Amino acid sequence: MVGMTGLAVGQSSPFEKSVPCGQNARPFPLKSELLSETQARLQWNPVPQSAQYHLVVRNAAIGSPVLFDTFLTDVQPVVQDLPLGQLLTWTVQAQCHQGSLSAWAHADTFAFPDPDFVCSDLLVDMRDGGAYRTVQMGSQCWFQQNLNHDLGEGVFGFSTGFNCNTPAKAGRFYNWTAGKGIDSLYAFEIYGSEGEQGACPVGWHLPTISEYDLLFSDTSITFTSVQIGGGSGFDVHLGGYMNTGERFTEVETSAFLITSSQSPYTDWRMMVYALDGRFTNSIERGEITKICRGSIRCLKD
């Protein structure tokens, strides 16, 4: 079902302008916004001289049938009555007044949360509509992907200027105080508690070093098996980390998973688990400066 409550064709939008309707035009860019646990607003840039738009929504799995297919004049329609707990993909093209069709827009994805969530289901972050695969590792339920929620200060958004493959794998990079959701002054001072929700969604938290100890106490988890496609299910991406000079280090070689635990030896360092692909090809428990930025895997409360 779709609601017709957005901008009319020809009205301005918050997005950049498109070229006139024709084969070289493309509704751009697409944006998904969750309005509730069952409604989403799909938005795109108006294409000048278009008569209407062809909107298609399907399950993101390859070869999935179309779930929603309609023509409309609105560029901010609200959709509902779609499957819950599944990653959905959508795209749109413009039908021009002269009868020709524009190119299809590059697809976007969104998901609605599943009210009956169990570990291994898709977790939807209602703050921004981000969807994350989850995995049961022993007694713990983890994100199977790096967190990609933008908190502003202390967070480095993915940049295609760095060779980190794709944002879906790399996520964002967080320093210690951003990951914990505390004042940045604690980057150089003692902060006693750990295990906060921090940057994670409600019901999840930034893991402690002890919780990572439990995960990696499984002797079947190795440097190779813990990586994407390695068979453990945890699927770590070797995205490196951002050092104190705000430069990426060890990209495609190592990974640094930050914890909510402070170093027991100094006020200005945090505990991490690192996949060291430079020298030892091992999983190492260690510590780095709190203002460095690493990856976050959220753990279910």
The CATH number linked to 11 is 2.60.40.10
Range of the domain at 74: 2-110
Residue 115 lies in a domain: no
Quick one: 104 and 128 in the same domain? no
Cα atoms found within 13 Å of the Cα of residue 121, Cβ hemisphere only: 16
Residue 85 lies in a domain: yes
Quick one: 62 and 33 in the same domain? yes
pLDDT above 70 as % of the chain: 88
148 backbone φψ class: left, alpha, beta (φ>0; ψ -120 to 50): alpha
- Let me know if 67 is exposed, middle or buried by CB neighbors in 10 A (0-12, 13-18, 19+): middle
Alpha helices in 217-286 (DSSP H): none
What is the per-residue pLDDT across 79-91, written as a single tens digit (0 to 9) for each? 999 999 999 999 9
- Asked whether the beta carbons of 27 and 45 are under 8 A apart, the reply is yes
Quick one: 274 and 155 in the same domain? yes
d(CA 88, CA 61): 8
Residue 180 lies in a domain: yes
What is the per-residue pLDDT across 101-147, written as a single tens digit (0 to 9) for each? 999 999 999 999 999 999 999 999 999 889 999 999 999 999 999 99
Q: Coil, strand, or helix at residue 13?
A: coil
Quick one: 138 and 6 in the same domain? no
The structural domain count of the chain equals 2
Residue 31 lies in a domain: yes
Quick one: 204 and 141 in the same domain? yes
Q: Which of 51, 77, 110 is a domain's end point?
A: 110
Quick one: 219 and 85 in the same domain? no
